[in-house]
Amino acid sequence: MSTYDRRRFLQLLGSSGMLMASMSPLSAFAMSGSPSARVIVVGGGFGGATCAKYLNMFDPSLSITLIEPSKRFKTCPFSNAVLSGFQNIESISHGYQAHEKRGINVVHDKVTQIDATAKTVVLSGGEKLSYDKLVLSPGIDFKWDLVEGMQASDANTIPHAWQGGPQTTLLRNQLVSMRNGGTIIVAPPGNPFRCPPGPYERVSLIAHYLKQHKPKSKILILDAKSKFSKQPLFMQGWEKLYPGMVEWVAADKGGRIDEIDVKNKILHTESGSKHKADVINFIPPQKAGAIAHTAGLTNSDGWCPVDQRTFESKMHADIHIIGDASIAGKMPKSGFAANSQGKVCAAAIVSAVHGKTMPEPSYVNTCYSLVSPDYGISVAAVYRYSKDKGIYKVKGSGGVSPKVADKVFRQQEARYAKGWYDSITSDSFG
């Protein structure tokens, strides 16, 4: 057995407390005692990584397996800074050493099947793992069938860059090789989708790059919506920092895209106009990550209905879905929300395993956006749960940054945006 094979064999064994125990009973006892339950967490983004960590903090006797294909996860937050060129891809990459150190069994693989009755998951090589509780944090997938003229593989030509990693690098390279005086089209999807202010932060930070390196260029936003998150604040920022560079076309003014000519880089809108661009960033309509569909956990809109108090699926018992894939009441689909949900879900699972009543859930979200590296804006809210309303916003809390604010205020929010990134990545991956 090679070192790799042996390590992997042990990893897989480790995810089954019984097997491990039957091989070497005394050492297994000495190492961890008997696990109070076996929990498998699928997906190592903000939701899954946080949930696994907090499960372990709440109850170190749990046997926890975190399954995530990437060895180093690339975040969507701050990927726009990579597109803009003031951060590199390494700065948004995070490993799982801290999880391993906690005794969480990290398996770098993909789950291909879930059997909700037998309570097993199957990995890409066919290995089967058993669970008492399963947490899915599968993120998003795309509804390519709704896009005329484009399919998944065309993302190699027209990147969405809505999942961090190679897509981010591809779009960055296209921006770098574009001529001065070129046109970039950013085409955001309709609601709901991952990170509501994200496309507009992207426009801002691409404009920041263009202003320095290709000032004759333009950005056209062809939007599937007629309003967007923090709209007055973004528009104020664009006018102040990038006058004349950004044009936004709302859905009801002919912004909605009808068809994409990938080869010629032409977008056709519903209203019949055609737009040719040097670089196109088409962000497709979205649905829950693929495994949620395979496992029969989604509704007809493609998202996962859950009990918003515990995040347990309404389709199958003992499966919890958190993050972008879940339907979480008033909470937006964001890394911050996924982190918050990961903690609530961990508390629900640990309480259930030990026959306790879980504490009243409390959830929170803040979405920072950079209009430039030293110009930040935010939207925030505190959330609670009620049986009638599901997850609702606490009245009187939250809101957006003030429209009237001086330079120092915006600088401070930009500083806190970076501080937030340092904190949430250490809270999730550290």
Partner 1 sequence: MYIKRTVGLLLFGSCLSVSSMSSAVEISQSTMLANSCAACHGTHGKSPGAIPAINGKSASFIVQSMNDFTSGKRPSTVMGRHASGYSDKEIQLIADFFSKQ
**Which residues contact partner 1 (rule: CB under 8 A)?**
18, 21-22, 25-26, 29, 33-34, 36-37, 54, 58-59, 61, 336, 339-340, 343-344, 347, 350-351, 353-356, 358-364, 366, 378, 380-382, 394, 396-399, 401, 409, 412-413, 415-416, 418-424, 426-427, 430
**CA pair distance 149, 137, nearest whole angstrom:** 30
What are the backbone dihedrals phi and psi of residue 24, each rounded to the nearest 5 degrees, phi first?
-145, 75
CB of 334: closest distance to partner 1 in angstroms? 10
Q: Which is nearer to partner 1, 219 or 370 (CB)?
A: 370
Q: Label residue 211 exposed, middle or buried (CB < 10 Å: 0-12, 13-18, 19+).
A: middle
Q: Which amino acid is at 69?
A: P
Is 292 in contact with 136 (CB distance < 8 Å)? yes
28: number of Cβ within 10 Å: 19
CB of 405: closest distance to partner 1 in angstroms? 9
Residues contacting residue 14 through CB under 8 Å, at least 6 positions apart? 20, 63, 65, 105
Q: Which is nearer to partner 1, 14 or 302 (CB)?
A: 14
Measured in whole angstroms, the distance separating CA 170 from the mean position of its chain's CA atoms is: 19
CB of 130: closest distance to partner 1 in angstroms? 12
Token match 């661009």: residue? 277
CB of 392: closest distance to partner 1 in angstroms? 11
Q: Label residue 355 exposed, middle or buried (CB < 10 Å: 0-12, 13-18, 19+).
A: exposed
**CA pair distance 247, 69, nearest whole angstrom:** 38
Q: Which is nearer to partner 1, 25 or 125 (CB)?
A: 25
Taken in order 298, 54, 40, 97, the sign of the CA dihedral is: positive
Q: Which is nearer to partner 1, 183 or 362 (CB)?
A: 362
Q: Which is nearer to partner 1, 214 or 343 (CB)?
A: 343
DSSP code, position 354: T
CB of 242: closest distance to partner 1 in angstroms? 23
CB of 170: closest distance to partner 1 in angstroms? 29
CB of 176: closest distance to partner 1 in angstroms? 29
Q: Which is nearer to partner 1, 180 or 397 (CB)?
A: 397
Q: Which amino acid is at 70?
A: S
